[in-house]
Amino acid sequence: MKRLPIITLTLGAALVAAAYDIVWLNADSGLSMGVQPEADVDIVYSSDYSEVKVMQGTTVLGTVATSALQNVTFGDTDGECVLDFSGSAPRFYCPEYFADATMQGMTVAADGDHVTITLGDSFADMESFAFTVTGTTTDGQVKVYGDIPVYVTLSDASITNQSGSAVNLQVSAKCQLILSGSNYVEDGAEYSTPDGEKEKSTVYSLKALTIKGDGSLQAKGNYKHAICSEKSITLESGTVEVVYSANDGIHASGVTIDGGCYVSQLTTGDGIDADDSSLLINGGTVDINISADDVKALKADGLIQMEGGDITLTISSPQGKGLKSKEGIVINGGAITANTSGAAVVTDGDPSYCTVIKSDDYVTINGGTVKIKSTGSGSKGISADGDITIYSGDFQIEQSGAGVVYTDANNNYDTYCCTAITGDANIYLYGGTFDISNTGSAGKGIKADVEIVIGNADGGPTINAKTTGARISESQAGGWHAAAGPGGGGGNNPGGGGGGWGPGGGDFNQNEDYANPKVIKAIGNLIVNNGALTLSSSQDGGEGLESKSTLTINGGDIYISTYDDCINAANHIEIAGGVIRCLASGNDAIDSNGTLTISGGVVIAVGTSSPEGGLDCDNNRFAITGGIIVGLGGDNSTPTTSACTQRVVLYGTTSFSNGTTYTITNPSGEQVFSFKSPKSVSGQMLFSSPGITNNGTYTIYTGGTVTGGTEYYDITVDAEYTPGSAKKTFTPTQMVTTVR
């Protein structure tokens, strides 16, 4: 048995003189326990020498088994519980241990640098237990058992465990990980986990975990996740960086980001996975880089809701996702910046796309900023299986990935292409600013499989969207090629194309199926109620507004420039208001494959040479009942006399010169309206205005001087007009009058 002398510690002499305020009782196991005396302390043997007692006067503060005690040393303390790995063996100091009977219900065991702290039943009435970890261990662990909240502060700590978690909180209550200084944790590639316990990550918590502080933490997860909780994780403050993870960077049943900074890279799983619960982003900075196949930067089976914060995403992952939810995504504020290069992947005839914001249900956006740049084939910016509803926000989406022909599950050719905003259901754009550019072949701006509604009575979005990519075609037998677009050569070789004629443009086979570039397309109805739209598409097959059902315009300021139709609908086009300027360089300006009705607004529709024109609805019903209308091109459909209540004039056939002003005056010589031709074209001008009645002779002038008035792009009304050259006169005694 060890024989230690009796030690008397006089605070005023030994400790103060030596500038020490703690007594370390160092055990053979390497673990040290400390006591901070408040008065003179005696360390004495028990009568049988089996224990060493720590006493103040006649009061026993605590006992240590003599067989376990190696020696007694002195040191400093800041008054907190500390686990220190800076020496040759771990030392644990808790100032209240000997003075508080509750604390004496704690056991601390060490196997080398693997330290386990167990909080006994006597801790049940305590609100929490806190301690600080500092120092470096290359094969150690901090493990805590207990039933009360535990707060662990990492203060310039570096913990690497070769066979399990670095920090393992087997605690049945909420815990906190507090960061101070620079910290590092790493686990082993294989775990030796006790039977009946869970352990999945470098930092592991059995219950809810909050990470906060003003320090930083680097985490490396070699086994599975880097940071994991069986319940929720909240990032409140501090900087957390996942330098590598064999699976998810953060994995929990619910994640909340309130502040701080989270950085994740080199994960083979998801950046943050909220599992079957919700992901809430209220603030902070998130920077995630993913590259493994089919992983997500931010994932939740429940709701993803963003109120603030700044998210930066770099996605080279094939079919990877930025924000991915099974339930829904709500964005009310904050900023998302994403650069994606991941390509689409076809599995069993079903393509999966690299997408920045993807919901298996709905997406609702009430504010914030979304900036996306994508280069991968078939990439998507915002995509939902349900409705997409946007009330406000700033959206900048730039895509350049190619469209691709693939073989579907039925062994038929099909295509996929890049789309900025796409929905399997409805898209409602009630506000916001959109700057969309798509240079990829067959690229789309905004596409819905059901209905698109733009604007409402309170206002509408500002949309500046363009596509410049060529269309792509599917060959009937031997592959596919990209059509060359305007002026392209014909032939059957890949890359061949043709100028084309009629709807759909040309190629070597007019019956071939094409995937065409579209700016805004709805498979169902497309309704524009309000907003400012500037749309352009420069290649063959490119259209501005397209509906495979009915297209309705009730208001808004719409400026469209395309190669193919500016506005196209399969069944019916209804224009009841708004200011609309359509300029098509290779086809009709406004083309309905069914019926066409114009009842209001200002409509300028300028197409190309015959057989194309400004306003086309084949031989179907064409009603004009209001509005100021000019249709210019090789030809226009003739309005249906019985369906019109406002008089219409068909003026042609003649040549219309770019920049020439054509003015209609009434029998009193007053301006009805003036129209400045935006291009040169031979053919016909259709025009109609409430100012044209059957009460006399009207005159068509060229040139002259237009002073004042109100301009609607190429049309001016309510102006003073000094006549130029009179070209024609007419008397509109019929509802539809032809002037040649």
Cα gap 154→89, rounded to integer Å = 18
Query: How far apart are alpha carbons 570 and 516 in whole angstroms?
Result: 16
36-56 per-position pLDDT tens digit? 666 667 778 888 888 887 777
Q: Quick one: pLDDT band at residue 203, thresholds 50, 70, 90?
A: very high
- For 605-626, the pLDDT digits (tens) are 999 988 899 999 998 999 999 9
In sign, the C-alpha dihedral spanning 16, 21, 25, 31 is: negative
**Is 94 a residue whose pLDDT tops 90?**
no
Nearest 10 degrees: CA dihedral of 196, 199, 200, 203? 160
Left (φ > 0), alpha (ψ -120 to 50) or beta: where does 622 sit? Answer: beta
Point out which residues pair with 552 in neighbouring strands: 527, 574
| 59-65: strand order across its sheet | 7-9, 41-45, 51-56, 59-65
Bridge partner list, 405: 415
Whether 265 and 240 have beta carbons less than 8 Å apart is answered as no
566-574: long-range contacts, CB 8 A cutoff, minimum separation 24: 566/535, 566/590, 566/605, 567/543, 567/591, 568/503, 568/543, 568/592, 568/593, 569/526, 569/593, 569/594, 570/594, 571/547, 571/595, 572/596, 572/597, 573/597, 573/617, 574/550, 574/599
For 652, what's the count of Cα atoms within 13 Å in the CB-facing half-sphere?
25
8-state DSSP, 613: B
Element (DSSP H or E) covering residue 329: strand 328-331
- Cβ–Cβ under 8 Å, residues 321 and 299: yes
Q: To which residue do tokens 């400093």 refer?
A: 76
Distance CA 436, CA 691 (A): 39
Q: Residue 506: is its pLDDT beyond 50?
A: no
pLDDT single digits (tens) 399-425: 999 999 999 999 889 999 999 999 999
Cα–chain center distance at 617? 40
Residues in CB range of 582: below 8 A, 6 or more apart: 544, 558, 560, 562, 566, 567, 589, 590, 604, 605, 606, 614
Burial category of 308 from C-beta neighbours within 10 Å (exposed 0-12, middle 13-18, buried 19 and up): middle
How sure is the predictor about 80, in pLDDT bands with cuts at 50, 70 and 90? confident
Global pTM reads 0.89
Out of 373-387, 506-520, 601-615, pick the least confident. 506-520
The residues, any chain, with a CB within 8 Å of residue 347's CB and separated by 6 or more, are none
pLDDT > 70 in the chain, percent: 88
**Region of poorest pLDDT, from 369-378, 475-484, 589-598, 707-716:** 475-484
Q: Which of residues 644 and 62 earns the better pLDDT score?
A: 644
- Computed over every residue of the chain, the mean pLDDT equals 89
What is the three-state SS of 478-507? CCEEECCCCCCCCCCCCCCCCCCCCCCCCC
Neighbouring CB atoms inside 10 A of 506's CB total 18
Angstrom distance (rounded) from CA 233 to CA 251: 8
Tokens of 26: 């160092």
For residue 382, is pLDDT > 80?
yes
Specify the range with the lowest mean pLDDT, choosing from 9-13, 82-86, 178-182.
9-13
Tally of residues, the chain = 740
pLDDT range class, residue 58, cuts 50, 70, 90: confident
Between CA 548 and CA 556, with CA 551 as vertex, the angle to 5 degrees is 140
Inform me whether the pLDDT recorded for 13 exceeds 70: no
Q: Give me the DSSP letters along 516-541.
A: --EEEEESS-EEE-S-EEEEEE-STT
Per-residue model confidence as pLDDT tens digits over 530-571: 999 999 999 999 999 999 999 999 999 999 999 999 999 999
Alpha-carbon gap, residue 296 to 676, rounded angstroms: 53
| 94-98, 666-670, 701-705: range with lowest mean pLDDT | 94-98
Please report the pLDDT score of residue 245 as a whole number: 97
- At position 713, the amino acid (one-letter code) is Y
Alpha carbon distance 667, 686 (integer Å): 20
Q: Are the beta carbons of 20 and 75 closer than 8 angstroms?
A: yes
75 vs 649: CA distance, rounded Å: 102
| The pLDDT of residue 34 | 67
**Which residue reads 């939902």 in tokens?**
384
| DSSP letter for each residue of 350-386 | EEE--EEEEESSEEEE-S-EEEEEE-STT-EEEEESS
Quick one: average pLDDT of 313-329?
97
